[in-house]
Structures are given as structure tokens and as C-alpha cells.
Structure 1
Amino acid sequence: MIIDMQRGMSDPAAGERNNPDAEINIQRLLTEWRNAGWPVVHVRHISRTPGSPFWPGQSGAEFQPALAPLAYEHVVEKNVPCAFTQSGLERWFHVRGIKRLVIVGVSTSNSVEATARTAGNLGFNSQVVADATFTFAKQDYAGVYRSADEVHAMSLANLEGEYAAIGITEEVLTSIKG
């Protein structure tokens, strides 16, 4: 499952981010997944806010070309962080007997975390790929600036063990080829 890898997410105006090689790792995983003939789900955020880079018809809402879905790959559009909310995604997986999910994309502290939590709550065996996800720096609730690396690490810690396993690209690639 590739979450929100849209042109608007690569805009430097989005702020300080971590994992500069995330897109390369996602592309490597996508290539191997396709070679194995396994289903791929692309999730796209469509904003409800006029003027947003993710508003329908804006270039920011388009998939990044290197990660764009093929004609036969499933596309889910969402307008909240969780890809399962009002999308039919849970049913889509169940109809196909899919129980294991590998989750990559952006942002770790928003859509990736929300989707992985729901996947875990729904009983899916999920794995979030730490170096194939990224997030942005932000201030915490107490007003303390947190780097993108800190925000990313905390999001992964929130998920690990309870909602999803956390892995890295090389481990997932080994399991595909293994």
C-alpha cells in the first residue's frame, strides 16, 4: 500500500522532512512487488479545502510519475488521514483474501500512522517500512520543535508491536525474493 505519494508531497514548501531516499526505496519495493505479481494499492489524498495543493485538478494531487499506478492497480481516494475510512478498502482486501499489508508513503505521523493503526485494529498483519516512509518537522503540543527524524521515530514507536511491525526496505526485499 503506497500512501499519498503525490506531487504536492515533494514540494519543498511542505517543510523539513526526513528520509530523503524514501521515494527511491518505495520505487524499489514497488518494482519487486509488481515483478512478484502481487496486488498494489495506491492511496491518494483529495482535499476538501479549495486552494489546497491536493484539491482535485491541482498538480499537487497527481501521483508522482515514478510511483504512478498502472491501469490494473487499485486506487483509493481519501479526504481524511486513514485510507480505510469510507473507502471500501477493508472490503477490497477481504474479497481478495489479503491479510498481510506492507505500508509505505507519507506522512509517517499522519496518514501512514492513521492507516496502520486502523489496519492493526481490523486484524491485518501489517508492516510499515521505516525507510520508505517520511514525515515533516513540527512543534509538539508543548510548543517544542521536533525534527522530522524525531517525529518519524515517535510515530514508528507508536505503531510498533501493537498495530504493525516496523521494518526496512532491505528486509522486505529479502522476504519477497526469499
Structure 2
Amino acid sequence: MSKTQTALVVVDVQESFRHRPYWKEAGVSRFAERVQTLIDGARERGVPVVQIFHVEPTGVFSAASGHVRTMEGVKVEADVQFEKRSHSALVGSGLDVWLVQRGIGRVIICGIRSEQCCETTTRHASDLGYEVDYVTEATLTWEMTDRKGRVWSADEIKARTELVLDGRFATVVTVEEALARAEEQAVAA
């Protein structure tokens, strides 16, 4: 049985966010379409799909809330699921062990929130030696206000994330580029 060297990591695409005060519908349908295209493309190419859920002891991220489930509008047929309790999907979840056991050296990162758990997982994966494709268009975030009162739009936050990740911690790619790169690597393996 041949193994792919790439895995798709779907970070925190869960209903919990819909119940946070910053939730806005703007951008959600486009995100859902792009992340679904990425998930479906990975499945078609035999790339393992890893689903990560963020879980906390209380609140909308607690298992008891009923919101720690795949976000409506997205269908994930995961090869494996992990729960995390920190920003990086690689801390205490078992994900790193799973990747190492399968000889996976490249991860494709998508999910919610662009600048938080997706960016943190990307940096951590890079530090651990993984090659990382960061798919900005398959990430979602919302506007934020900084300590000086400036409001940063979701697009500005995504642009800043691309700036600090690309060429340092990851290669920033589109959905189609991520899938093509995964396919090329599988053929080369």
C-alpha cells in the first residue's frame, strides 16, 4: 500500500464559532465553498483528511455544548479526528504522532481562524520540520479591533498572516495549487 506524503489538516471548522459575539456571515459561504473544494479534492487524490476540533471545559467550545461538530455547510469525511485544547493542533492532540507514523512530511492547513489556530499550527508545524502549504482562501476570520482602537478587516488580517508566513513558515497557495502540489508529491513518491 503506497502512502501519500501529504495530509490535509482541517482546523476548527466547527459550529462553536457561530455562537461567539464576533461571528458574522460575511465571507462564510465563500469559505465553505473553498474549504469543501479542498476537502473533496484531497479525498479524490487519496490525501488523508485530518479534522481538528477545539475543545474547552466550558462554554460553546465544550463537548457538552453540542457545538463541537462540523460547521453547517461543510462536509468532512475525515480519516482521523483529534481534539486540541491550545491554539496549535500539534500540542497534546496526538496529531504529530499520527503524521510521523505515516511518514507525512507536508501538511496543508485550512480552517478557522486564519490568524489564530491556523497560523499557530502552521508555525508549529514548520518548527517541527513539516513542509506547510497555507491555504488562505480556505481559512476564515473576522474583523478585530487592536488596543489603539483601529479596526482591522478580515481581509487585512488575512493579508498580514500571508505576509508573516509566506516563505518563512509556509508556502501560501490557492486551493487548486495545494491540490496540484499534493498530487505532484504523491506521483514523485
User: Fold conserved (TM > 0.5)?
Assistant: yes
User: For residues 93 and 57 of structure 1, what CA distance do their matches in structure 2 show?
Assistant: 29
Contact 2:10 2:109 in 1 (8 A): yes
**1:95 positional shift:** 0.9
User: For residues 19 and 162 of structure 1, what CA distance do their matches in structure 2 show?
Assistant: 27
Gaps of 5+ in 2: 1-8, 185-189
| TM value normalised by structure 1 | 0.88
Which residue does 1:46 correspond to in 2?
Answer: 55
The amino acid that maps onto 1:63 is: T
The amino acid that maps onto 1:64 is: M
**1:12 positional shift:** 7.6
Which residue does 2:96 correspond to in 1?
Answer: 90
- Tell me the matched-pair count: 174
The amino acid that maps onto 2:99 is: F
Which residue does 1:155 correspond to in 2?
Answer: 161
User: For residues 163 and 17 of structure 1, what CA distance do their matches in structure 2 show?
Assistant: 30
User: For residues 11 and 114 of structure 1, what CA distance do their matches in structure 2 show?
Assistant: 22
Which residue does 2:66 correspond to in 1?
Answer: 59
Contact 2:90 2:96 in 1 (8 A): yes
**1:148 positional shift:** 1.2
Runs of 4 or more, structure 1, over 6 Å off, are none
1:2 aligns with 2:10: yes
1:142 aligns with 2:142: no
Contact 1:108 1:152 in 2 (8 A): yes
Secondary structure of 1:91's counterpart equals helix
Contact 2:133 2:178 in 1 (8 A): no
The amino acid that maps onto 1:28 is: T
Q: Deviations over 1:85-143 (max 9, x none)?
A: 11121121111000011011010111001100000101100011011011111112333
Which residue does 2:37 correspond to in 1?
Answer: 28
Secondary structure of 1:126's counterpart equals strand
1:110 aligns with 2:116: yes
| TM value normalised by structure 2 | 0.83
User: For residues 143 and 154 of structure 2, what CA distance do their matches in structure 1 show?
Assistant: 4
1:173 aligns with 2:174: no
Secondary structure of 1:157's counterpart equals helix
Contact 1:130 1:167 in 2 (8 A): yes
Q: CA RMSD in A?
A: 2.0
Give the share of equivalent positions with the same residue, in percent: 27
User: For residues 5 and 108 of structure 1, what CA distance do their matches in structure 2 show?
Assistant: 11
